[in-house]
Amino acid sequence: MPPVLIVSLVMSPVIYLTGRWRTVAARSLTLMGLAVLWVLWGLAAHALNTSQVLRYVQGDIVFQYDGLSQLITVAVLLLSTLVIIFSGSDVQGCDGEEKYYAMLLLLAGAVIGLASARDLFNLWVWFELTAVSSYLLVAFYQDRIDPLAACIKYLIQTATGSVLVLFGIALIFAESGSLDFTELQIAASPLILVAGVLFVIGFGVKTALVPTYTWLPDAYTQAPTGVSALLSGIVTISGLVALLRVLAVMDGQSPLWGAVLIGFGTVNIVVGNLLALQQTVVKRIFAYSSISHIGFVLLAIGIGIYGGQQTGYIGGSLHLFVHALMKASAFLVIGALSHTRHQVDSSLHVSDLSGVFGREPLLASALVIACLSLAGMPPLAGFMSKWMIFDAGLRVGGTTMLLLVGFAALNSVFSLAYYFPIINALFQPERQPRNRAVPAAMRLPIIILTGAVLVVGIYPTLLDPVVGPAARIFGALFGGH
């Protein structure tokens, strides 16, 4: 078992038990655990420089750490670290604070385990652990009815998806007699096609594919701010990674899956935009926009598979990472602003942002940058990742693909229709005075994320060490060039 997973699984219960005695110690232990995980990641990254794949054997279980696992690990560790720093003030004094920190570390380990699984059954196990830990985090505010309702909705839909995935795994095993990714390369058959449909629906629930997305806006909105950042940045994407790992062994060389992903991606982009346009609660706007951004990742990987374009894989990998940065920044700003007003962030409306620039120019600027980057405006990170996706489509060529790229580009610009009211409200006259200051521990993660969005937009090659290997894994999985 990778050392990263051992540390996460062992320290999570220790953090919980310690937190029952002293909550401050639980937070400190979580930060220490993440520091250890960063060191272990550094060692693994160094080893990957000489080998494309690292294997860890635990009895009959084999974990495979590759470029895609590394991309997910970096995103998980970065966001988890920043969220823990931010949460010191956000959830301080709340009932069950020790469970919050314990589950955050467990969630981080579960997502990394999912990205490193080498067989279908263990992929499902880590997928389930990701779901269970995120259930508890969504329902953190257990004294309120709305978070509990959101958790139940999330639980029912993702549990249904998990059952469908399990049925799909059973069909694969019945057809091939194996579940190991390195041994599976299954030709198309009616049974395998049924399994593929089950996987698309089952993993699609966690990925928020239309129409299985309905849990997402409630979970994102009702969860604590830090959890919303993690859900949008890594948890939803983990479902996509699981789906792509599975599709790659099911006649993965065929452009069929590329067309399927392009179709779902296009629908997600449109539906996410249209639903976000109707919202007035800020967190729900960003929640629905995540559906659209998942669509861009799907579109990019689909173009890579369908047209054999490595640029598509690069664009998809880059957008996967920068979306985590942009959306985490946006959610943390909303949490910080709610903190100043003693307000629950799930009730923060666009109109409540009036006057923020006058009293909190730093937070307002960070939110403006996040919104413009999410909309794909240059010279920000979101523009660079979307530009690579569009470039991949143009390289494939053909009338249909050109129309598709143009349609996606128009939808990116269209997203300004719901981002601009947020930006505009920040500069309006103040309606309500600030009640308390934003702690430095809340500002620091926002500054780091905003800086990353700006720097990556100007120097996207800085992410080549993590984006390039992930793109090459996608190419190897699906036969890209």
Please give the structure tokens belonging to residue 270: 């449109």
Contact criterion met (CB below 8 Å) for 367 and 426: yes
Query: Is pLDDT of 253 > 60?
Result: no
Q: What does the angle CA 113 – CA 199 – CA 8 come to, to the nearest 5 degrees?
A: 10
Query: Is pLDDT of 391 > 90?
Result: yes
Average pLDDT (269-294) is 93
Give the tens place of pLDDT for each residue, 133-157.
Answer: 998 888 888 778 888 888 899 999 9
What is the per-residue pLDDT for 400? 87
Q: What is the pTM of this model?
A: 0.92
Determine the Cα–Cα distance for residues 59 and 8; give it in Å rounded to an integer.
20
Query: Is pLDDT of 343 > 70?
Result: no
Most confident of 4-18, 137-151, 324-338, 431-445: 324-338
Chain-wide mean pLDDT for the chain? 87
Contact criterion met (CB below 8 Å) for 380 and 333: no
Q: Which residue in 142, 360, 346, 113 sits closest to 225, CA to CA?
A: 346
What is the per-residue pLDDT for 344? 60
Share above pLDDT 90 across residues of the chain, in percent, rounded to a whole number: 41
Contact criterion met (CB below 8 Å) for 279 and 418: yes
What is the per-residue pLDDT for 92? 75
Q: Which residue has the tokens 């997928």?
A: 127
- Strand-pair category, 54-58 with 61-65: antiparallel
Q: Is the four-CA dihedral 369, 321, 297, 383 of positive or negative sign?
A: positive
State how many domains the chain has. 1
What is the per-residue pLDDT for 106? 92
Query: Is pLDDT of 322 > 90?
Result: yes
Q: In sequence order, what E strands does 328-393 have?
A: none
Query: Is pLDDT of 186 > 70?
Result: no
Share above pLDDT 70 across residues of the chain, in percent, rounded to a whole number: 94
Determine the Cα–Cα distance for residues 83 and 65; give it in Å rounded to an integer.
25
**431 — pLDDT class (breaks 50, 70, 90):** low
39 or 49: which carries more pLDDT confidence?
A: 39
Least confident of 31-40, 93-102, 391-400: 93-102
Give the tens place of pLDDT for each residue, 202-218.
Answer: 998 888 888 888 898 89
What is the per-residue pLDDT for 346? 64
**481 — pLDDT class (breaks 50, 70, 90):** very low
Which domain does 338 fall in, by range? 3-478
Please give the structure tokens belonging to residue 351: 């109109």
480 or 87: which carries more pLDDT confidence?
A: 87
What is the per-residue pLDDT for 433? 59
Query: Is pLDDT of 182 > 80?
Result: no
